[in-house]
């Protein structure tokens, strides 16, 4: 089964601080995604990538940057964390070839105070 | 962009009941519709999918129906068990390639009482 590992699992950050969420997958998948989950909003796509060294904006990219230094690693960066970015963040990956189901990480619970 | 709506937002049933979760999408170019289940405190996991060239797919107690004309899907779960308690998400995408950008509904919370 696909393995997607997120770190940290939870984090408390201060408003205006920098936060980096990391994601690592070991399944040779080309596609990786960052979603945020909020009550009442479901999952919303922040950034995604389908090749190393390249990232794409999702539906809600404002306030977030992404980095894909290698096929295995995909980071989400909040340069100036804000209260509104308190949420649970999920990383996911897929091969994008034939079966396009997503394999999700366990999530990172971020609280910005 | 694509928008996915799910109804109802929550369901509470007794063990053994059948439930129906509805999902609609807006982008006529969407071709792939996987569903995921998120148990409390756990990661999302794939449960069933359907492609736009199909009308029906079954996997044990799960049946997924697809109507391309109305852009509507419905997930039927029979003989529910407490272990089915979870949030269920419908998603839609245009398919593989650089356009593979799955959009999710807001989820349906299912609680099955023993």
pLDDT digits (tens, 9 = 90+) for A61-93: 999 999 999 999 999 999 999 999 999 999 999
List the structure tokens of A52: 């190393």
pLDDT value at residue B107: 95
Q: Which of B32, B93, B106 sits opposite A42 (nearest CB)?
A: B106
Tell me if A102 and B95 make a contact (CB, 8 A cut-off): no
- Asked if B91 contacts B33 with a C-beta cutoff of 8 angstroms, the reply is yes
Of A5-19, B48-62, B72-86, B96-110, the least confident: B96-110
Smallest CA–CA separation between A22 and chain B, in Å? 16
Mean pLDDT over residues A33-50, rounded?
Answer: 92
pLDDT value at residue A1: 59
pLDDT value at residue A2: 56
pLDDT value at residue A61: 97
Confidence of residue B97 (pLDDT cuts 50, 70, 90): low
- Residue showing tokens 């290698």: A70
Q: Which of B1, B42, B96 sits opposite A100 (nearest CB)?
A: B96
- Asked if B108 contacts B8 with a C-beta cutoff of 8 angstroms, the reply is yes
Q: Give CA–CA dist B26/B4, Å, rounded.
A: 7
- Asked if A91 contacts A105 with a C-beta cutoff of 8 angstroms, the reply is yes
List the structure tokens of A53: 């060294």
Mean pLDDT over residues A43-65, rounded?
Answer: 95
Smallest CA–CA separation between B80 and chain A, in Å? 23
Is the pLDDT at B75 greater than 60? The verdict is yes
Is the pLDDT at B1 greater than 60? The verdict is yes
Smallest CA–CA separation between A82 and chain B, in Å? 23
Q: Give CA–CA dist B59/A3, Å, rounded.
A: 24
Contacts of B49 in chain A (CB under 8 A): 101
């Amino acid at each position: 089964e696909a393995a997607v590992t997120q770190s940290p699992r939870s984090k408390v950050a201060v408003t205006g601080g920098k936060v980096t969420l990391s994601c690592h997958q070991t399944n040779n998948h080309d596609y990786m995604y960052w979603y945020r989950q909020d009550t009442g909003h479901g999952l919303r796509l922040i950034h995604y990538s389908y090749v190393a060294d390249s990232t794409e904006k999702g539906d809600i990219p404002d306030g977030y940057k992404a980095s894909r230094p290698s096929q295995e690693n995909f980071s989400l960066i909040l340069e100036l964390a804000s209260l509104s970015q308190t949420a649970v963040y999920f990383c996911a990956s897929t091969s994008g070839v034939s079966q396009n189901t997503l394999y999700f990480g366990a999530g990172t619970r971020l609280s910005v105070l | 962009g694509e928008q996915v709506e799910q109804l109802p937002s929550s369901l509470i049933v007794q063990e053994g009941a059948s439930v129906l979760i509805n999902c609609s999408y807006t982008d006529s170019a969407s071709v792939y519709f996987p569903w995921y289940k998120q148990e409390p405190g756990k990661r999302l996991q794939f449960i069933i999918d359907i492609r736009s060239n199909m009308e029906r797919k079954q996997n044990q107690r799960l049946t997924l129906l697809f109507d391309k004309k109305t852009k509507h899907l419905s997930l039927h779960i029979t003989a529910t068990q407490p272990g089915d308690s979870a949030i269920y998400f419908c998603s839609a995408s245009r398919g593989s390639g650089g356009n593979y950008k799955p959009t999710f509904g807001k989820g349906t919370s299912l609680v099955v009482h023993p």
